[in-house]
Amino acid sequence: MLRIGPLTLKTPLLLAPIAGHCDLPFRLLCREQGGVGLASTDLLNSRAILNGSAKTLELAATCPADDPCGMQLYGNGDDPLPQAACWAVDHGARLIDINMGCPVDKVAKKHGGSLLLRDCSATTLLAERIVKAVERHSGGRVPVTAKMRLGWDPEHFVAPRLARDLESIGIQAVTVHGRWTIQFFSGHADWARIGEVVSAVRGIPVIGNGDITEPMHVLSMLRQTGCQGVMIGRAALRTPWIFRHAWELLQMPKPDPSLLQEPSVSDKISMIGRHLELLSAQNYSERHALHMMKLRMAWYGKTIQNGKALRESFRTAVSVREMGSALTAFAQSQAAHAAPNRALPSASTSV
């Protein structure tokens, strides 16, 4: 388990708030696969939340099956982050996370994200305002955390000092992505530097993030850095079951990746069908659902042998129902090549 202030997670594995991907259907899918301790929303613009932006409210949507849910906010000292954090508490957030790590220009050069790493004193004061507002509003039941990078560039390794200062004003956990802002997602994450952040704080948990592409990487991250939790991002887009596998390894007396059971093609087909169902259940527009599933299939298809035709069927589909039909046809073709007595995998959807 991982304890973040008053919040206890069942596993130390967290789904990263991946911009453009972490909508409610995907979070639910990952949770259903198993092993997820906390899933967070896509990053939310503080002003857009308070202005009632339809797109932002859609990103912030949660439900009882999505518990515990974290909501990640971004902005700077001129933005209404404390008020937005209180809004998030009222709308289902069990944890408020301040984005101090997004390197994307529209965030980092204007509204916050990694920009907050350029002036750590001002960032600490901003975080203190958010912590105090959430403390008053929630009665101390909702922790505030921060997600950061190592610094803007190698000449400005600010993460250890910033994490220690944030701890002193009430931040109850920090997540550290082991890259510099200028790297974006290139190169390699520096886990040794994450370890330095672990050594810098006095008692709050540090969650490691970066280059976790296989279940065994979770154990390696924990061992090498001393961090108490691991956040998984892009690998979950391709293998949503990575949390279950990592959790299974963590519970083994002698962790052995060879004991992990790769989902069968039938399981993967059923999982894709389930994702279609979850998208439809949210009453998204047909256009939005199509767009999201085409993005997903570009990732899922990489794990399915001979799945090129299925990926192409999804790419050219003009309706979600057509996607469901393509999935069923692919399941039938797989069954035809399997053993005669093998049961036909279920790939039907309600769309």
* Contacting residues for 254 by C-beta, under 8 A, at least 6 apart: none
Q: Contact at 8 Å (CB) between 73 and 63?
A: no
Number of continuous H segments (helices) and E segments (strands) in the chain:
15, 11
Q: Contact at 8 Å (CB) between 2 and 8?
A: yes
Opening angle at CA 315, ends 313 and 321, nearest 5: 60
Q: Could you say which of 30, 69, 86, 102 is catalytic?
A: 102
Give, in order, the Cα–Cα distances in Å from 180 to each of 118, 185, 194, 336, 340.
12, 9, 12, 50, 54
Integer Cα distance of 68 and 28 in angstroms: 11
Q: Contact at 8 Å (CB) between 227 and 191?
A: no
Q: Report which of 340, 210, 253, 279 is spatially closest to residue 27, judged by C-alpha positions.
A: 279
Known catalytic residue at 102 = yes
Residues noted as catalytic = 102
